[in-house]
Copies of this chain bind each other. A is one copy, B any other.
Amino acid sequence: MPEECKDSDLILVCLKTTANDYMLKTLPKLIGPNSVVMTLQNGLGNEEEISKVISADKIIGGVAFICVNRISAGKIDHSAFGHVKANGFNKNFAPEKLRAVKELFEQSGLDFSIEENLHELKWEKLVWNVPFNGLSASLGGVDTRSILAHQPTHAVAIELMKEVILGAKTQDVILDNKLIDENINKTLKMGPYMTSMSIDRLNKKPLEVEGIIGIPLRKAKDKGIKLPYMENLYAELSYYNASLIK
């Protein structure tokens, strides 16, 4: 496959971040002089990883707030949402290429918007990902409705959102506190949604712990801010990942 795709115009990275080693080995086989790489992976640090194999000004970062599960090979269950928001990883990304990508998505019937601040986009998505992916996995592989139906885990989900907003602030990303209510309400509307981490946990696969929890936690820690709820979640989920290797 890699050889056939040599010198692609657009390489869309949809791999889990747990496959980033594989991604870094595979990308160089696909990249040509005109290629741009776009990542829609969860969490922080993926654009930085990709910049090890292609110039930073050829990378698009993005988030897809979408409820989608792969049921089996080639079978996808898309239950809610789906808007993609993106921007170049740095200011030197050619705007006409970004517009071309937007058109490509829109021609396929998908919502796509170019947002001003990629950094903010990534942190904003963590407001959902940290509590719901994190808790759904640490509780053993449960759905989002179950987290919100039990008062103590519901309360911890809110504390985790507050910590993400605090962590973002250490990186000069100012997120609105109303995101907390918005995310809770949005999640209540999803019904009993199984997050990707929850499904991975049930399938005894490695969890995307570093990008979603570890990197944000360390970024805040480097600025002298302690995030106890996230630290706890990180401890548990990284313990689980480590136990898979043994």
- Give A residues with C-beta under 8 Å from B: 138-140, 146, 150, 152-153, 155-156, 159, 228-229, 231-236, 238-240, 242-243
Contact = CB atoms under 8 A, between A and B. Distances in A.
Contacts of A238: 150, 152
Contact of A152 (B156, B229, B235): B235
Contacts of A155: 231, 235
Contacts of A159: 228, 231
Contact of A156 (B140, B146, B235, B242): B235
Given A138-B138, A140-B140, A159-B231, 13 more contacts: A139-B239, A139-B240, A150-B238, A150-B239, A152-B234, A152-B235, A155-B231, A155-B235, A156-B231, A159-B228, A228-B229, A229-B231, A232-B233
Contacts of A229: 228, 231-232
A199 to B, nearest CB: 17
Nearest to A155: B235
A197 B243 CA distance: 19
A98 B180 CA distance: 55
Nearest to A159: B228
Contacts of A231: 152, 155-156, 159, 229
